[in-house]
Amino acid sequence: MNTMSRISSAFIATVLLSAGVANAQWGNGGERAQDRREIRQDKRELRDDKRDVADLEDVLARFDRAWTRQNEREMTSVENRLRELMQREFAESRSELQRDRAEVRRSDREVRRDGWGRPGMDDRRDRRDDQRDVRVEVATLQTRMAITRELNMVMGSRNQWDLQRQRNLITQLIQVARQEVHQTKQEMREDRREMREDRRDDRRRY
C-alpha cells in the first residue's frame, strides 16, 4: 500500500470513528433531553392532579351545603360544576394515557437497542413499570366512566336516595383523584430513576 493509500485509509477510519462517537453522543443527549421532558410533564401532571382533588372536595362541600339548605339554585350550580370537572378530567386522563403509551414504546426501543444478548435488567424493569402505568391509567379512565354514567342517572333528582347516591359518587371521584396523585408521584420517582440510570450508562460508555 502506497503512502497516499495509507493516508486515505487512516482518514476514512478517523471520520467513521468520529461519526460513530458523535451519533452515540447525540443519542445519549436525546435520551437525557427526553428524561428532562418527562420530569417536567410529571410535575405538571402532579400539579393538575392536586388541583383536581381540591376542586372535587370543594364540590362536595358545596353539595352538602346545598342539600342541607335545600337550595335548588346552588345544587344546580354544583351539578354543572361537577360536569365541567368530569370533562376536564376525562381530557387529562386521555392525555396521560397517550403519554404512558409513548413511554412504553420508548422502553421497547431501549430494550431492543441493547443489541446482542439479553436486555439489561434496568431496561426490562423500566418497561414493566411503563406497562403497569398504562394498565393503571386505563383502569382509572374506566372507573371514571362508570361513575359518570351513574352520576348522569341521578343528577337533577332531589329524591333523598338519589342525592345520597350522588354524594357517594362524588366521594368516589375524590378517592380516584387522590389515587392519581399517588400514581403520578410514583411515575415521577420512576422517571428520575431512569434519568440516573441513563447518566450512569453514559459514564460507563465514556
**Segment 12-63, tens digit of pLDDT:** 455 444 545 445 444 455 566 666 777 788 888 889 999 999 999 999 999 9
**pLDDT exceeds cutoff 50 at 117:** no
Domain boundaries, the chain: 3-205
Cell of 76: 344546580
- Which range, of 27-36, 105-114, 167-176, averages the lowest pLDDT? 27-36
**How far is the C-alpha of 139 from the C-alpha of 136, rounded, in Å?**
5
Using the predicted structure, report yes or no on whether residue 106 has a pLDDT greater than 70: yes
Summarize pLDDT for 50-85 with one digit per residue, the tens.
999 999 999 999 999 999 999 999 999 999 999 999
> What whole-number distance in Å separates Cα of residue 189 and Cα of residue 33?
17
Q: What is the arithmetic mean of pLDDT over 76-102?
A: 88
Helices (DSSP H) in the chain: which residue ranges?
3-69, 72-113, 121-154, 160-205
Residue with the three cell numbers 398504562: 134
What are the cell numbers at 130?
411503563
Q: Name the residue with higher pLDDT: 154 or 14.
A: 154
Predicted model pTM? 0.69
As a dihedral over the C-alpha atoms of residue 75, residue 79, residue 81, residue 83, rounded to 10 degrees, the angle is 180
- The 8-class DSSP code of residue 117 comes to S
Q: Residue 171 above 60 pLDDT?
A: yes
Mean pLDDT of the chain: 79
Round to whole Å and give the CA distance between 195 and 32.
7
